[in-house]
Each structure stands twice: as C-alpha cells, then as structure tokens.
Amino acid sequence: MAETARTVIIEENGGPEALKLVDWPVGEPGPGEIRIRHKACGLNFIDCYQRSGLYPLQLPHALGMEAAGVIEAVGEGVTHLAPGDRAAYAATPPGAYTEARVMPAAQVCKLPEDISFEEGAAMMLKGLTVQYLFHRTTPLKKGDTVLFHAAAGGVGLIACQWAKSEGIRLIGTAGSDEKCQLALDHGADACINYNTEDFTKRTRELTDGKGVDVVMDSIGASTFIGSLDCLKPLGMMISFGNASGPVEAFNLGILAQKGSLKVTRPTLFAHIADPAACQEMAAMLFGKVSSGAVKIRIDQRFPLAEVAEAHRALEARKTTGQTILTLE
C-alpha cells in the first residue's frame, strides 16, 4: 500500500482556487475503521459550503463527502465489510476527494455488483437525501403533491423518479426550459421555469388553488418565503440546502398566518448517524436503482486534478444530474 494518496485539501477558506491537490498520508485502519481505495468520488454543494467556510472545518482539511471503491483493509470490530468488497458511502468526516483513505466504517455500505462504482459515487449522498425526504421527514402517501426546487439537479432527478415510483405527484422548478424538460423526462408531473414564471403563482394554478402538501427546498434564501405560499394549510416546508445562501431569520408567526405550517431543517448526517438506519436507508436506495425505478444520470465527469473547475461549474448552476471526480 502506498503511504500517501493524491488528496484534495483546503488550507484556508475561499473560492475554488483554495482547493489544493497534495500527497496526503493514508495509514492503517484502527478499531471500527476501514481503508478504501476509491474508483470515483461524488461532488455536492456541501463541499462548496465547507470550502467557503459557510460550514466551518478545522483547517487544513481534506474535502468530499461521498465516494465508491474497494475495501483494502478493515480494523478490529468491523464485521459488515471485508477486504475486496465493493463499497460506497456518504459519510463524515470529509475527505472523499482522494485516491485512498482510512475512515470510520459505520456509514460505509457494501455496493451491489449490478451498480457501478461511478453510480455508487454519484448516488449515495443525493440518493440517501431523497430517501429521508420521502420516508423519514414527514408522512407521504400515494396521491400527495410535492413541490421540489432544483428538480434537474443531482438530488432533483433522483427525487423525480422516486416520486413517480411511489405515486406521488412532483411539481419541479428549474432555471431553464431545457432543465425543466429534463425533470419532466425523469418523472416530474410539471416543472416551472422560475426565471420566466412566478413559481408561487404557477404552483397554486397547478393545484387548483389548494397548494402542495410538502415543499422540498435546497435553494434557501431566494425561495424560502415564496415556498411557504405554495403550501396548503398544515403543510410541511423542508428546507435542506442553501444554494442561494442561508435562510434569514423570520417571524414564526408567519407560519400561523399562512395556515399552521410546519418547517424543518434536516441534514442527512443526522439521519444516517445510527449505523443500522444508514444501512436500511442504503438498502432501499440500492433497491430503487437495481430495479430500474431510479436511474443515476452522470452528466459531468472531471479528473481529480480539475476539482476547482468542477466546483465552478456546480456553483454557476451549469450542471445537471450528477457530477463525479474520476481517478482512472
């Protein structure tokens, strides 16, 4: 085993130019840990938040939250994985932008043979996010209606297919007609171009004035208040990202005025903190992909050395579907 691996780190917060490719020590797994050699790494908005300092890290720190590869070694007490296993994960601490790493084993999942390493790297964080949005945040049933922002993004295209597979009506939003069509092609019932239409007004029209049961919003500041106006009374607002910036403080009384609405700000890592829950969630995700109900669309591939360009494309909203970093 090589003593170091090419790894992307930051030594200070900043823009994509802060990303550095260095030789980083790997080491041997201790109790409860594994060593994994990656075949591909996933790219997510949380990586940009950590790079910029919105989500602080103790620096210097490696970045990246998901990847897929082959288990090289396991530490004492690890029983669900063995050397040679194909595996994928979305997990803390950050450090997935690398050729190989030692990390906690609890959130690392055995990857089915019929799912490729690239798919595994692209789907774990986003797919597990969709799983908790639809199954662990608020009760959803066949016939319910969801408004999903950024429906042509990595999480969104999985959500469109997931909703269709469960008989849930999904109304998406996106920033162009082309992206709207992509969401429709993946199972959205309707999609609103928020650059040419008022998404609140259009959502009300599409629901005969009633509003939706749930809003799933990863955009944040620019869509939050408008999203509340899309909900029917007693509806649930799930704010799970900050692509346009964090949501500012607001008067809780607004929720009463708009129909006794509910609001939550979940994170994936709270949901997968329990190892058994993580494995159960992953099993459901793998089942959706293996059955063909959810197809993982990888539209952008960047070599690890071009990670800064990948971040620029993601932050400029020039990406669709999934984006991965390649290692071979």
In a domain, 8, yes or no: yes
Q: Beta-carbon neighbour count of residue 3 at 10 Å?
A: 8
pLDDT of residue 317: 83
Q: To 10 degrees, the CA torsion angle through 130, 132, 138, 144?
A: 30
253 and 301 housed in the same domain: no
Question: What is the β-pairing status of strands 231-239 and 212-217?
Answer: parallel
In a domain, 282, yes or no: yes
Instruction: Look up the pTM and report it.
Output: 0.92
Q: Write the CATH number for 119.
A: 3.90.180.10
In a domain, 240, yes or no: yes
192 and 295 housed in the same domain: no
235 and 281 housed in the same domain: no
In a domain, 131, yes or no: no
251 and 280 housed in the same domain: no
In a domain, 160, yes or no: yes
164 and 120 housed in the same domain: no
On the 0-12 / 13-18 / 19+ scale of CB atoms within 10 A, 30 is: exposed
57 and 105 housed in the same domain: yes
| Distance, CA of 202 to CA of 208 (rounded, Å) | 10
DSSP reduced 3-state for 161: helix
Which residue, 238, 265, 292, sits at the end of a domain?
265
Which residue, 215, 240, 265, sits at the end of a domain?
265
190 and 211 housed in the same domain: yes
pLDDT of residue 156: 94
Amino acid identity, position 104: P
300 and 184 housed in the same domain: no
In a domain, 22, yes or no: yes
48 and 92 housed in the same domain: yes
30 and 56 housed in the same domain: yes
In a domain, 116, yes or no: yes
Q: Write the CATH number for 199.
A: 3.40.50.720
- Quick check: 59 and 10 in contact, CB under 8 A? yes
| Distance, CA of 258 to CA of 147 (rounded, Å) | 17
Which residue, 228, 243, 265, sits at the end of a domain?
265
Burial 98-112 (b: 16+ CB within 10 A, else e): bbbbbbbbbbbbbbb
149 and 260 housed in the same domain: yes
Dihedral of CA 180/183/184/185: which sign?
Answer: positive
Nearest Cα to Cα of residue 86 among 37, 122, 124? 37
76 and 10 housed in the same domain: yes
Task: Please give the residue range of the domain that contains residue 259.
Answer: 138-265
| Distance, CA of 170 to CA of 174 (rounded, Å) | 13
Give the total number of structural domains in the chain. Answer: 2
In a domain, 150, yes or no: yes
Q: How many CA atoms lie within 13 A of 297 on its CB side?
A: 20
pLDDT of residue 222: 83
Tell me the average confidence (pLDDT) per consecutive run of 10 residues in the chain, 328 residues long: 88 97 96 98 93 94 97 97 98 96 97 97 96 96 97 94 98 96 97 96 97 94 91 96 80 93 95 96 98 95 97 90 89
